[in-house]
Amino acid sequence: MEAISERVFTEPTSSSEAISDEPSLLTIILDISPLGWYKLRDLMTLEEMTKNLLVFLNAHLALNNSNQVAFIASSPKGSRFLYPNPAKSYQEVKVSDGATSARDFVNKGMYRQFRIVDKAVLEELNEFLNEINKDQDDTMLADPASKLSGALSMALTYTNRMLTLDQSITTTTASAIASTTSSSASAASSTATGAGGASSGSSSTSMKSRILVVSANDDNDVKYIPIMNTIFAAQKMKLSIDIIKLGDEENSSYLQQPSDATNGIYLHLTDPRGIIQVLSTAYFIEPSLRPFIILPTNSNVNYRASCFITGKAVDVGYVCSVCLCIMSIIPDSKKCPTCNSQFDERIIHQLTKEPEVVKKKRKIDSK
Amino acid sequence: MRNGVANLVSEVSGSPQYHLDKIRQLKARQHNKFEPKGDPSLQNSLEMARSLLKYNFGSNANNTKNSKEILVIFGALFTSDPGDIHKTIGNLVKDDIKVKVIGLSAQVAICQELVNRTNREEKNTSSKNYGVIMNESHFKELLMDCVTPLPLTEQEKEFEESNHGVPVIKMGFPTKIQPTGNSSIGNTDFTIEFPQLNASFPTAGSDDSSDVVQINHNMGATTTGVAVGYQCPQCKSKVCNLPTICPVCGLMLILSTHLARSYHHLVPLRPYKEVPISSTYESQFCFGCQLQFPKGVRTTSKSKGKLESMTSSRYRCMKCSKDFCINCDVFVHEVLHNCPGCENSK
């Protein structure tokens, strides 16, 4: 009995010292494109999804004192940081006790950090949805494409700041950083009281980070090059992009590629009702621990590229040898649409020729 | 090269990360079979490299588009070969493989000949393809010189000119496949596909046991879920590594990430412009990282010399007129190649 309990206690301490002592940043990108969520309306609402994600965020915060989270909502109208929102003050402390009943970030029965994140995300999300509803006239119809690349870019810039800038902290940026996480009045007090997040910045250990994308968007109409650029940036920064795909389409190639290329997890959930279980089992594991753990991943990754002319995903395409532009059809002008170089006639002829029926063979057969 | 034998550390692959991992593994594992030992054999290693290059790039129709290079980093002052190295050099010349050598100690005649013959230079001329390092920074310099792609030779140029226009290449973008074992949780409510179960070994956390796990993991790689392949979209045959040419239908198979690596050169991001100093600014926070900008100040004699009066700290994208901080500016232009503002507003 003693041996067993001792083993339990010794194992995690030694491994956590080696691997998971560094703080970790988790950025969640929630795609709130109306169409995708409308399709899911019988299974899950956006509100329930957000609740589940908040539980997940809280669990992440609870894991390590200096863990950090960020929450980005991405809609066809644009993306927005729900948390941390630097314009809002999360330090609604006892300055005016009675007045701040509407949005007090301190609750007696709740860990402060949890409360702040929950409250801020829900409030901002409501605000954002209201804004979208308000001017939902022609802007939406004109361009319903997903802004996932934008949200990913924002997440990466934010991660970049957290990863690199907070290490080499200088006095001027220190106050600025501290004031974004907790924009209290004086810089001196903010660094002192800076909640969790700011204090971790001063430590020289590099932060680990990952991005979790939750998307119910079914159409493949995302911008190809920006997504690819974010993949390469994420690879350079050694962060994983995890994807949860809801909705009908199983193999969203543009969502699979980021997760596969950055060593993340891609899961397609047909039924999102048990999502918190999936979140806490599959997605909770730090990227550094992932080699040691059997993870649920999808087996088939669709590495389709996007055609530059039609914008559709292609399996087999033609590639210009000068600029590597991908085409699903050879344009009539026989010129590359991107770099305008003339294609070789002979090779085009070879590629486009119909299969020929060889008659000679038949003669031999008949003989 | 070690003990007269050429050892393959990392196979021919288009992914830089794959090679880096292999080299890192090599560095991490002490007392392994790659420990320096015995005499080097230049011939063995060259032959190995030659066959690797030859069979991985194939002698197909598009052979002329490839350039094949070998970079030798050579520390020894001699080579102990099983056969005639001059024959090997002749074969290299025949296969159009260029060899570059970086010597670590002193110039060696055979290396000089190797470089001169494979690069089609005059005999015994000092060339930029053979350098001997003087110090560490010089090594870095020589190594970086090798990064630039080879210039076209006269022959290739003629071939290029005889062609009218640039060739179009038909390429396939295969699907990654993995052998899986399915397991459903509960009833049919939702099914999660797990990769085939790897035997998991308890790690006590000590260095010894983690080593054990590492080795087991590598040994299991061939049989378990780590084995991944790619399926040709045209004929559904399976290949292990990309980029390659489909062995069945001859279609060039490539990952879209290989191609997309260079796309930011095609669509370069316009530089941001610094916002002129004023007393009030439209933006309070960096659009990318949410960093708070310093507030605008009135340019009085008092505040001169302060950071706020010297610069606005805001860098604006001219297309989407969003403001970014200097660090995001650098990051966006050097790493990301995406403007977060434009991506969200387009």
Chain A CB contacts of B174 under 8 Å are 303
Contact A292 B177 (CB under 8 A): no
Position with higher pLDDT, A114 vs A299: A114
A24-191+202-303 CATH choice from 3.40.50.410, 3.50.50.60, 3.10.310.30, 3.40.50.300:
3.40.50.410
Q: How distant is the Cα of A96 from the closest Cα of chain B, in angstroms? A: 25
Least confident stretch, A275-279, A298-302, B297-301, B338-342 = B297-301
- In the chain, the amino acid numbered B175 is T
Tell me the H-state helices in B163-224.
Answer: 207-220
Residue B210 clears pLDDT 50, i.e. is over it? no
User: Residue B191, SS3?
Assistant: strand
- The answer, yes or no, to whether residue A258 has pLDDT greater than 60, is yes
Above 60 in pLDDT, residue B108? yes
Residue A122 backbone dihedrals phi, psi, to 5 degrees: -65, -45
Q: Which of A177, A237, A294 sits opposite B198 (nearest CB)?
A: A294
The residue with tokens 């003989």 is: A367
Write down the pLDDT at residue B276: 82
A318 contacts B259? CB cut-off 8 A: no
pLDDT of residue B34: 65
Arithmetic mean of pLDDT, B152-168: 62
Q: Which residues contact B215 (CB under 8 A, 6 or more apart)?
A: none
Q: Which residues of B touch A154 (CB under 8 A)?
A: 287-288, 340, 344
Enumerate residues 26 to 55 of chain A having a beta carbon within 8 A of any beta carbon in chain B: none
The answer to whether A63 and A248 are in contact (CB under 8 A) is no
Cβ–Cβ contact A81 with B under 8 A? yes
Contacts across the A-B interface (CB distance below 8 Å): 258
- A78-83 and B168-172 beta bridge pairing: unpaired
- The C-alpha of A113 sits at a distance from chain B's nearest C-alpha, in angstroms, of 19
Give chain A positions within 8 Å (CB) of B292. 86, 176, 179-180, 183
Percent of chain B with pLDDT over 90: 0
Cβ proximity of A153 and B288 under 8 Å: yes
The pLDDT of residue A179 is 43
Interchain CB distance below 8 Å, B292 and A78 = no
For the domain made up of B269-344, give the CATH fold.
Herpes Virus-1 (3.30.40)
Residue B235 reports pLDDT greater than 80: yes
Q: With CB atoms and an 8 Å threshold, state whether B168 touches A10.
A: no
B165–A271 CB contact, under 8 Å:
no
Three-state DSSP at A154 gives helix
Using DSSP's 3-state secondary structure scheme, residue A95 falls into coil
Of the candidates A243, A272, A269, A228, the one whose C-alpha atom is nearest the C-alpha of residue A46 is: A272
Closest approach of chain A CAs to the CA of B102, in angstroms? 28
Of B65, B327, B341, the CB nearest to A165: B327
pLDDT for res B152 = 61
pLDDT in tens, A13-27: 333 344 446 788 889
* 3-state class (DSSP) for residue B19: helix
Q: What is the pLDDT, as a whole number, of residue A85?
A: 75
Q: Which of A79, A261, A274 sits opposite B190 (nearest CB)?
A: A274
Q: What is the pLDDT of residue B162?
A: 59
Contact B340 A150 (CB under 8 A): yes
Q: Are strands A301-302 and A305-306 parallel, antiparallel or unpaired?
A: unpaired
| Chain A residue closest in CA terms to B227 | A299
Residues of chain B in contact with residue A158, where contact means CB-CB under 8 angstroms, are 288-290
Which fold is adopted by the domain B39-159? Rossmann fold (3.40.50)
Smallest Cβ distance to B290: which of A81, A344, A348? A81
pLDDT confidence bin for A93, thresholds 50/70/90: very low
Residue A288, pLDDT above cutoff 60: yes
For residue B120, the one-letter residue type is R
What residues 61-80 of chain A have any CB closer than 8 A to a CB of chain B? 78-79
Kindly report the nearest CA distance between residue A336 and chain B, in angstroms: 9
- pLDDT band for B158, please (50, 70, 90 cuts): low
The predicted pLDDT at position A15 comes to: 38
**In this structure, which long-range contacts are made by residues B242-250, counting pairs with CB atoms below 8 Å and at least 24 apart in sequence?**
B242/B14, B242/B174, B243/B14, B244/B56, B245/B58, B245/B60, B246/B172, B250/B60
pLDDT of residue B222: 33
Q: What percent of chain B has pLDDT over 70?
A: 67
Percent of chain A with pLDDT over 90: 0
pLDDT at residue A144 greater than cutoff 70: no
Chain A hits for B167, CB-CB cut-off 8 Å, are 321, 343-344, 347
On chain B, the residues whose CB falls within 8 A of the CB of A342 are 164-166
pLDDT at residue B197 above 50? no
Residues of B in contact with A338 (CB under 8 A): 266
Q: Is A291 at the interface with chain B, CB within 8 A?
A: yes
Q: Could A153 and B339 be called an inter-chain contact, meaning their C-beta atoms sit closer than 8 Å?
A: yes
Cα(B248)–Cα(B172) distance, rounded to whole angstroms? 13
Mean pLDDT (chain B, rounded) = 71
pLDDT digits over B41-95, tens only? Answer: 888 888 888 888 777 665 444 455 567 788 888 888 888 888 888 888 888 888 7
Q: Find chain B residues with C-beta within 8 A of A241's C-beta.
A: none
* Closest CA of chain A from B264, distance in Å: 7
pLDDT given for residue B32 in this prediction: 62
B-contacting residues of A 149-188, CB under 8 Å? Answer: 149-151, 153-154, 156-158, 160-161, 164-165, 172-173, 176-177, 179-180, 183
Predicted confidence (pLDDT) at residue B340 exceeds the cutoff of 70: yes
Nearest to A214 by CA among A18, A30, A27: A30
Residue from A91, A88, A87, A71 nearest A79 by CA = A71
Q: Give yes or no for a cis peptide into B36 (omega within 30° of 0).
A: no
Paired tokens of A345: 């006639």
Say if CB A229 and CB B338 are below 8 A apart: yes
The answer to whether residue A59 neighbours chain B at the CB level (below 8 Å) is: no
Residue A324 touches chain B, beta carbons under 8 Å: yes
Q: What is the distance in angstroms between the CA of the first residue and the CA of the last residue of chain B?
A: 54
Q: Is the pLDDT of residue A100 over 50?
A: no
Instruction: Kindly report, residue by residue over A199-229, the tens digit of the pLDDT.
Output: 333 334 467 888 998 888 766 666 778 888 8
SS (H, E, C) B212-225: HHHHHHHHHCCCCC
Measure in Å the smallest separation between the Cα of B107 and chain A Cα atoms: 37
Residues A296/A269, Cβ–Cβ less than 8 Å: no
Q: Which residue has the tokens 């980029």?
A: B243
Asked if B233's CB is within 8 angstroms of A160's CB, the reply is no
Is there a contact between A172 and B325 (Cβ–Cβ < 8 Å)? no
Distance CA A59, CA A49 (A): 15
Looking at residue A221, its pLDDT comes to: 62
Contact B123, B116 (CB under 8 A): yes
Predicted confidence at residue B198, as pLDDT, reads 36
Confidence of residue A364 (pLDDT cuts 50, 70, 90): low
pLDDT for the residue A170: 37
Subunit contact A341:B165, Cβ cutoff 8 A: yes
Q: What value does the mean pLDDT of chain A take? A: 70
Any idea where the domains of chain A sit in the sequence? 24-191+202-303, 306-366
Q: What is the pLDDT of residue A91?
A: 56
Q: What is the dihedral of CA A277, A280, A283, A289, to 10 degrees?
A: -140
Contact A299 B180 (CB under 8 A): yes
- CB spacing of B206 vs A14 below 8 angstroms: yes
* Closest chain A C-alpha to B267 CA, distance in angstroms: 9
Q: Which of the two residues, A198 and A157, has the higher pLDDT score?
A: A157
- CB B186: neighbour CB atoms within 10 A? 9
- The whole-angstrom separation of Cα A131 and Cα A161 is 28
Peptide bond before B243: cis, by omega within 30 degrees of 0?
A: yes
